[in-house]
Chains A and B, each alone.
Chain A
Amino acid sequence: MLNSLWCRRLAGLLLLWVAAFARADLSVDIVGGGANRYPLAVPAFAGEAAGDALTGIVRGDLALTGMVDLKPVPAGAIAADAAQLNAPVWRTLGAYAVLAGRMSTGAGGLTRVDYQLVQLAPRKVLAEGGYEVPPAALADAGHRIADAVYRALFGEPSFFLSRIAYVLKEGRGSYALQVSDVDGRNARTVLRSKEPIISPAWSPDGGRLAYVSFETGKPVVWVQDLGSGQRRVLANYRGSNSAPAWRPDGQALAVVLTTSGNSQIYLVGAGGGAPQRLTRSGAIDTEPDFSPDGSRIAFVSDRSGGPQVYVMPATGGEPQRISWQGSYNVSPRFSPDGKQLTYMRREGGRFRVVVHDLASNDARVVSDEVYGESPSFAPNGRMVLFASDAGARSVLWASSPDGTSKVRLGTVSGEVQDPAWGPARP
């Protein structure tokens, strides 16, 4: 499975514009993708109105992966279900499979959506299902159908049900911490401030965000519940408070405090309590990130001179240096399987996003931009999200860990900073 998957992503540059975004705050365009992508046709569902955000979302999600070759479908072409599917006609479009579906009015004003993913030769239903949702939840149904298609084609979960958090800087003195679906839809502002907001970090259950806000005149770590909007101070000690990272059990966070006179990593309970110091150096120790099993913490330290990536036991203790290439390696984040780290490296005046395999120590650059910052893995490990400068503004990119497939999530206005890819929703 894995081999054919990597195979599909190999080589070839392809420019594909994904249209049909009803109201996306971030638009999506693919600038690189594997040549051996799965050829799929996703026509509009029977009964789907032009303004419905359903198959557009399915197409957008699948395009994000760089693993699906979405075949252009003639206007008006509809496949309601497997029984009505004229396989030879669809095969002339180059598709190996078609996502057929229909929308209808269900009970109590709900919208009923049924789908079948049909392989054309040999003819076989690869996945099928249905949802009854209020009109407002149609986008969610779209993401769930896309996830079912992805699972059927590639045998693993997608990242379509996850969300991303980022800070939108709308000019000097205007910051909005936002959360959106993975395709940039449903963006909502969690916190607006005249002072900087940095370093959003998702709780493992996706229900809370920790972040650093400068609203009180200095960096202070807050935790905010995304459901209720309620928030409270997590760390506000003398000096600076920053770099929150959740322990995978959600019960504690690593933060950086400066009460010792230098930036050091501490552990604080999610509900408060006295901080417990985890690093003891005279250097800068910052940017902690827990391994998914909770046993290790990756962090940045300049104890060797310049900033480098280290890994230590989650309870503190002797760190092991991970990055040896280049004089500046920062912002490490674990992959969901704990086997890789992505981080940012300065290389000849450029800042590159690197994916580092911890077993082989193979570290590969996955970004071409002059400046890439704050990389984080998708919850299924198949993409790395990062922000980059594009002229005067910054944009979001998602790249496959091998760098062969890349997607640009362009912002409509403002500067997107500190993206963080959240966990998958159930």
Chain B
Amino acid sequence: MFKRVLMASAIASLLAACSSTQPPAPADTAPAVQQPVVTAPVTPAVDAAAEARLAAERARLAKESVYFDFDSNAIRADQQARVSQHAEFLKANPGQQAQIQGNTDARGSREYNLALGQRRAESVKNALEVLGVKGDQLEAVSYGKEKPRAEGSSAADFAENRRADVAYR
């Protein structure tokens, strides 16, 4: 029984970790998502509630991707509020590390897209630093066109993939 609980919570935390970098998986490929995971009561820790609030906040912010225009790494006016949310959280939690992951649409060479994704990630990193986040909390990396959230090739799919995610570590 205990083993199963451990497994269940491992799956749950794995799913939580996944959701910070990946879109919700289609229901037919990820049945585990639909199963409510029942865990045994955890030994109450002094700051369990605070930790839970932090985890919830991280999970919420992880979905706040920053989107870009085609062939651009400029932070759009409509994306500023998202960047600010990340900045506030990182300033309030100076021990928190974040990996900023730049992405591109599927057009062009893999390596050049990797560099374009890096430029988007650096752009978000700079914007966060301008808002007062310490640089050593941040690492800008790129996934280029290798990990598209949208697999199609419509304009909307391409737009969805022109983004940077902030993954909290």
Could you tell me which A residues sit within 8 Å of B by CB distance? 172, 196, 198-199, 214, 217-219, 238-240, 242-243, 256, 258, 261-263, 284, 286-287, 300, 307, 328, 330-331, 344, 346, 351, 373-374, 417-418
Contact = CB atoms under 8 A, between A and B. Distances in A.
Interface stretch (B51-59, B75-83, B113-121): B113-121
A240 B112 contact: no
Interface of B: 99, 101, 107-112, 114-116, 118-119, 122, 139-144, 146-147, 151
B143 A258 contact: no
A217 B99 contact: yes
Given A196-B146, A214-B143, A346 B108 contact: yes
18 contacts: A196-B143, A198-B111, A199-B110, A214-B147, A218-B139, A219-B141, A239-B118, A243-B111, A258-B140, A258-B142, A263-B114, A263-B118, A286-B111, A300-B111, A307-B112, A330-B112, A374-B110, A417-B110
B108 A328 contact: yes
Contacts of A243: 111, 114
A217 B100 CA distance: 11
Contacts of A218: 99, 101, 139, 141-142
Nearest to A417: B110
5 tightest A-B CB contacts, nearest first? A196-B146, A263-B115, A218-B141, A330-B109, A284-B115
B114 A331 contact: no
Contact of A261 (B99, B122, B143): B122
Contact of B111 (A214, A256, A328): A256
Q: Is the interface of B mostly helix, strand, loop or mixed?
A: mixed
Given A239-B118, A242-B111, A286-B114, 12 more contacts: A218-B99, A219-B143, A239-B140, A256-B111, A262-B118, A284-B112, A286-B111, A286-B112, A331-B109, A344-B109, A374-B110, A418-B110
Contacts of A240: 114, 118, 141-142
Contacts of A331: 109, 111-112
A172 B151 contact: yes
B16 to A, nearest CB: 15
A287 B141 contact: no
Contacts of B99: 217-218
B31 to A, nearest CB: 16
Contacts of A307: 112
Contacts of B140: 239, 258, 261
B122 A242 contact: no
B76 to A, nearest CB: 20
Nearest to A331: B109
A166 to B, nearest CB: 12
A242 B112 contact: no
Contacts of A239: 118, 139-141
A214 B146 contact: yes
Contacts of A219: 114, 141-144
B63 to A, nearest CB: 18
Nearest to B143: A214
B116 A330 contact: no
Given A198-B146, A239-B139, A240-B114, A284 B119 contact: yes
